[in-house]
Each structure stands twice: as C-alpha cells, then as structure tokens.
C-alpha cells in the first residue's frame, strides 16, 4: 500500500471522529453562599461549545480505493493537508477552555454538491464556516451566508473581496491590488523622487496588467512626484536609461520564460565593466514559488511581497512539524500550515469572545506559523486581511524586511 493510499484511508477514518468535542475535566468547587435574589443580575448565557464547519474538495465520489491511481488520490492532497492543519489548530484552541464540534463536508468543487450541503442543519447551526476554497464556490454560498447571518472564511482564494459583495465574508489571502500598493508604498518611502525613476516592465498580458495597474495607480494618486516609466521588455528599457539615476524596476510578470531573461538583462546592466546602472529589483508575488538565479536576485537587492512565509528555525514551527509527524506520519505541506493558522486563530477568537467573536476580529492581530492576520472591515464586502509581508532575497533565502 502506497503512502498516499494509507493517507486516504486515514482521512476516511478521521471523518468519523471529526465531530467529537474536547471534554474538559470537572472541577469540584467549594459551596458559595446564595446571594439575595433581589440583587441577582440577569444571567448571561454561557458559551460552552463552538461549531465550525469545513467545506473542502476531497472529491470522495470520484475515487474507488480498489482501483484509484496514485495521481487520482494525490488530487485530494491539498484538501487533506488543509483539513489536518485546521484540526490541529482547533485542538490547540480547545486547550484554552472551549469544546469544539468540527463538521467536515466534501464540497467536491461542485455547486450542485454545495446546494446539498447548504441544506444540512449542522451547517446552519455553525458559528463559522471555513470554505469553499475556490472563488466560484465562495460566490455560490453568498446568499446562504446573508440569509443565515453566517460568517464565511475564504481561506485560499486570492480574489478581491469586492467580487462577492458579502459583508459576512472573511478573506484570508491578500489580493493582487494589495500586493501592488505595498510595493508602491515601499518604493515611495525608501527612495527620493528627484533621484529615482520607477520602471514597470509590463508585457501587457492580463495577469501582468493586474499587478502593474495598482502600482501605476498608487503612484499617480498618492505619489505624483515620482516619474513612472513603462516598457514591455528590459531591452526597450535599456534604450532609455540615464546614467546617475536610481532605478526601482518592477517586473510585473510571473511567466518564467519572460522573467528569466529579464532578470539576466538587469543583472548585466547593473554590473557593466564600464560602470553599471544603479538598479534595485521588485518582483511579482508568485516568484516566491518559482526558482530564479538567486545570485542575480541578491545582487539586484530583489524584494517581493508575499502573504505567507515559514521560518523553519522558529521554535513554534519546529514544534508544529514534530507534532504533525507524530499525529499523521507525514510532513506538513504549506496547506497544513495554512490550515493550522486559520483553525487556531478563529478557534482562539471563539474561546475568548464566544458567539460575539466577529466584534473583535479587527482588534485581534495574529502572527502565525505561515500567515499573519490583521483584519480591516468594509460594510459592503466584509473582513479582509491587510497583513502583507515584504521579503528580500538574502543569504540564499527569503527574509522578511517588513
């Protein structure tokens, strides 16, 4: 039996136990004299158990364990890893003094299946729903969220919250507009406009323009004193360069076939034997998952934005990995870390504030193993995470600088 098949069988078993609450030991306390009935305040309802529902695309309907291939089973890896991380996060929160009921539903990445799940009474009785993970599913359950006054966590989609018009939506992942604005703010704060030219290398594909547009708009609206130039290639940029100027160059693409020669060209321009240009490079957030020439990136002082970063030297990260290995006999993936941070953060909110936890979400910051959370609120499209990291290539790795 392969590792993946063992993993899948494990998850089927774990579903049966997912709804078991943590039981706190009963402590006998000494008797307290009864107060005068006339002076008794109105009793407050005690929040003793929280119910969280999780909707992930396990796609169990598409698998027959007797005939499934390794590739078919691996399609469920993301959902499994995320679920196990959430489970560990909620278990950790429960140790702070609250019982949890975790309902797990297979969304199958199918709106017809979501329609069936939305009729479940357990879902309607939840204090919080985590998922679906894809934008189409998040959009599909908007009416349910509004009619049932139900907070919905969008855990993995990088969509703009304004796409959903759901004031009960809690968006975890930073959208591309936030990444662009973060880069623009950093450049404006670190460079002097009279000495610096901001350059966007924008091949003009849809994805490239999505990153370029918020940078361009930010400078136009907030930092008009900066000169912003735009070129489709680094070769076109080279023909317009001026000696003595500082260049903050943003490559707006994550197409490796375009980015690799662009980085190489900038590296050569900076390191000309006859006196190179002063270039500092800024990249697309997707670069954190891609491999480029690290020596060139470091030479160009390259900075990118990212929603997440795992410090494997951090003691909390080390302890999580050890516990995860013991519990599941596997290494945690990035989705395991994401799941833990979300499960623990919201579990802790429920422990501290009970059913009124939404009143405190914009006040409770969180520095996690993988993500960090600081939420803002918009009455039209809900809560959205504004914590976004700047990281720089140094010593052959990415290091947080902001």
Query: Residue 216's domain is classified under what CATH number?
Result: 3.40.50.2300
Same-domain check for residues 275 and 352: no
Same-domain check for residues 133 and 13: yes
Q: For residue 107, how far is the Cα from the chain centroid?
A: 20
pLDDT at 27: 32
Same-domain check for residues 215 and 108: no
Same-domain check for residues 322 and 255: no
**Tokens 């030297």, residue?**
313
- 95 by DSSP, 3-state: which? coil
pLDDT at 47: 72
Tokens of 344: 């623990």
Same-domain check for residues 153 and 18: yes
Same-domain check for residues 150 and 197: no
DSSP states along 276-345: --EEEEE--GGGGGS---HHHHHHTT-EEEESB---TTSHHHHHHHHHHHHHHSS---HHHHHHHHHHHH
The radius of gyration computed from the CA coordinates of the chain, to the nearest angstrom, equals: 25
- 372 by DSSP, 3-state: which? strand
Q: Is residue 393 part of a domain?
A: no
Same-domain check for residues 12 and 150: yes
Write out the residue range of the structural domain in which residue 95 sits.
8-23+45-174+313-387
Residues pairing with 389 in the sheet: 306
Q: Is residue 51 part of a domain?
A: yes
Task: Report, as ranges of residue numbers, the positions in the chain whose pLDDT lies below 50.
Answer: 1-7, 9-45
Same-domain check for residues 336 and 253: no
Q: Is residue 284 part of a domain?
A: yes
Q: Annotate 263-280 with b (16+ C-beta within 10 A) or e (fewer).
A: bebbbebbeeeeeebebb
DSSP states along 124-158: HT-SEEE---SHHHHHHTHHHHHHTT--EEE-S--
Domain end among 259, 280, 306:
306
Domain end among 306, 340, 371:
306
Same-domain check for residues 13 and 49: yes
pLDDT at 35: 43
Q: Is residue 269 part of a domain?
A: yes
Q: Is residue 30 part of a domain?
A: no
pLDDT at 5: 43
Tokens of 13: 């078993």
Count of domains for the chain: 2
Domain end among 306, 341, 374:
306
Q: Is residue 396 part of a domain?
A: no
Q: Is residue 360 part of a domain?
A: yes
Same-domain check for residues 66 and 116: yes
Same-domain check for residues 147 and 191: no
CA–CA distance, 343 with 81 (Å, rounded to integer): 13
CA–CA distance, 278 with 283 (Å, rounded to integer): 17
Tokens of 192: 């002097």
pLDDT at 74: 65
Q: Is residue 397 part of a domain?
A: no
Same-domain check for residues 251 and 180: yes
């Amino acid at each position: 039996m392969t590792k993946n098949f063992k993993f899948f069988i494990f998850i089927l078993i774990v579903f049966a136990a997912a709804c078991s609450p943590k039981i706190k030991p009963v402590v006998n306390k000494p008797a307290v004299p009864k107060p005068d009935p006339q002076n008794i305040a109105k009793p407050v309802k005690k929040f003793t158990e929280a119910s969280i529902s999780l909707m992930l695309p396990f796609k169990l309907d598409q698998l027959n364990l007797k005939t499934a291939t390794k590739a078919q089973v691996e399609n469920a890896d993301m959902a499994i890893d995320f679920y196990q991380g959430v489970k560990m996060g909620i278990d950790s929160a429960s140790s702070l003094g609250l019982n949890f009921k975790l309902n797990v539903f297979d969304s199958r990445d199918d709106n017809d299946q979501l329609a069936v799940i939305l009729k479940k009474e357990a879902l309607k009785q939840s204090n919080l729903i985590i998922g679906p993970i894809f934008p189409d599913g998040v959009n599909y359950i908007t009416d349910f969220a509004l009619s049932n006054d139900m907070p919905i966590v969008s855990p993995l989609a990088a969509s703009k919250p304004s796409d959903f018009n759901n004031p009960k939506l809690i968006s975890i992942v930073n959208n591309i507009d936030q990444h662009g604005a973060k880069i623009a703010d950093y450049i404006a704060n670190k460079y002097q406009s009279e000495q610096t030219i901001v350059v966007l290398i924008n091949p003009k594909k849809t994805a490239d323009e999505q990153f370029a547009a918020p940078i361009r708009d930010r400078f136009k609206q907030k930092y008009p004193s900066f000169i912003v130039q735009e070129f489709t290639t680094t070769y076109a940029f080279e023909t317009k360069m001026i000696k003595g100027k500082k260049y903050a160059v943003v490559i707006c693409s994550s197409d490796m076939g375009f980015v690799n020669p662009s980085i190489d060209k900038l590296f050569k321009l900076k390191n000309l034997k006859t006196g190179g240009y002063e270039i500092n490079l800024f990249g697309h957030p997707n670069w954190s998952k891609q491999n480029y020439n690290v020596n060139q990136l470091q030479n160009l002082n390259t900075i990118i934005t990212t929603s997440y970063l795992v410090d494997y030297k951090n003691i909390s990260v080390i302890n999580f990995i050890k516990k995860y290995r013991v519990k599941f006999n596997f290494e945690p993936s990035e989705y395991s870390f994401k799941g833990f941070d979300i499960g623990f953060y919201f579990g802790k909110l429920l422990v501290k504030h009970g059913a009124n936890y939404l009143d405190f979400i914009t006040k409770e910051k969180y520095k996690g193993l993988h993500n960090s959370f600081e939420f803002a609120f918009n009455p039209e499209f809900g809560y959205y995470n504004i914590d976004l990291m700047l990281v720089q290539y140094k010593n052959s790795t990415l290091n947080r600088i902001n």
